[in-house]
Structure 1
């Protein structure tokens, strides 16, 4: 069963909205992490960590999952298919990698940074565990945001075309 044009457009709109929320929130979280590294107030430091953690839990995770699910539905119910086009396959692989890395590694590290800063406040900047977590989260967050930009570019340009032998 293939979707009618207006059904596909609604699903595509939902997919683009989900991906936009994911990218925008990831970018904002990264900007907060990079910009706010030197503090005079421990409460502000904790608040930024808590805000980044909430952004991850309540915006990034749901928008990433809804982007993945809506993308899979688009593959299933449109002419694009799952394996007909290289660009679709690349987006699927990159999206799943981002979700796994974010869920298994980046999200838990952000929670850990928030927990440590909740207890230690401004003294956390002297804690080598916190500093290494903060630095890792910034680097991986930057890579994830860059990969999201690459996924957006792939979506627009649709490079590599159709596979010669597609299932």
Structure 2
């Protein structure tokens, strides 16, 4: 598990360093029209990201009333689909487009403004949290639980895993809401190093 989180962290940091390297080689900033298109793409990826997490939460809430093993299995398949086809692409897409916009506009890069730093660090944290908690529970624990002979509602591991999933989705949703709010409000201003 720790190796998986370290691998995801290394991949994300490498992706960021590659984007910074490419942005430094291109001297021109984005034109107003191109910036608008990048912002539209960024917003669409954030919507996909939110949709995936909210979809997982709705299915997980509805699973609380399921008692049959087949219904629980179907709910877990839906959560897995939301994770694979909405949450993960939305998270990576919003990270890439957000970093590219920060690097290629007058915002001055990833470390000029506190709110930009909070956004990309928060997004990386949300991705790591989602991949370690949601990914582990949905793709590793639940299939093992459902393959056992014990009914899921009688299995303490299933109930505990479901609570962990609720917690992970709740934290991810809170982080994403915070990131959307600071995108709009843009608090804290420039770092003192760049105020001159």
TM over 0.5: yes
In structure 2, what is the Cα distance between the partners aligned to 1:121 and 1:5?
60
Other structure's SS at 1:39 match:
coil
Identify the residue that residue 30 of structure 2 maps to in structure 1: 3
Say if 2:59 and 2:78, in contact at 8 Å, map to a contact too: no
Unaligned runs of 5+ in 2: 1-27
Choose the corresponding residue for 1:32, options 59, 67, 79: 59
State the TM-score, normalized to the length of structure 1.
Answer: 0.92
User: How many equivalent pairs are there?
Assistant: 167
- Structure 1 position 97 matched with structure 2 position 94: no
Partner of 2:92: 65
Q: Which residue of 159, 162, 167 maps to 2:187?
A: 159
What is the alpha-carbon root mean square deviation over aligned residues?
Answer: 1.8
Structure 2 residue 105 is the aligned partner of structure 1 residue 109: no
1:124 aligns to what? 152
Q: 2:75 aligns with which of 44, 48, 51?
A: 48
Q: What is the rounded CA distance, in whole Å, between the counterparts of 1:119 and 1:38 in structure 2?
A: 20
User: Which structure ranks higher in relative contact order (CA pairs < 8 Å, sequence separation ≥ 6)?
Assistant: 1
Displacement of 1:38 in angstroms is 2.5
Aligned pair partner of 1:75 in 94, 102, 116:
102
Aligned: 1:146 with 2:177: no
Deviation track 1:109-141 (CA, whole Å, cap 9, x = no partner) reads 111344135425881111111111111010111
Distance 2:102 2:55 in 1: 29
**Structure 1 residue runs of 4 or more that deviate by more than 3 Å after TM superposition:** none
Cα distance in 2 between the residues matched to 1:58 and 1:118: 22
Q: Could you list the per-position Cα deviations for residues 75-117 of structure 1 after superposition, in whole angstroms to 9, with x for gaps in the alignment?
A: 1101112111111011111001011111233212111344135
After superposition, the Cα gap between the structure-2 partners of 1:121 and 1:49, relative to the gap in structure 1 and judged at 3 Å, is: farther
Q: Cα 1:122–1:50, aligned 2, differ >3 Å: closer, same or farther?
A: farther
157-166 vs 62-71, which deviates more?
157-166
Structure 1's 121 and 69: CA in aligned 2 closer, same or farther, altered over 3 A? farther
Cα shift at 1:32: 1.6
Match of 1:19 in 2: 46
The whole-number CA distance in structure 2 between the counterparts of 1:68 and 1:54 is: 21
TM-score, normalisation: structure 2 = 0.79
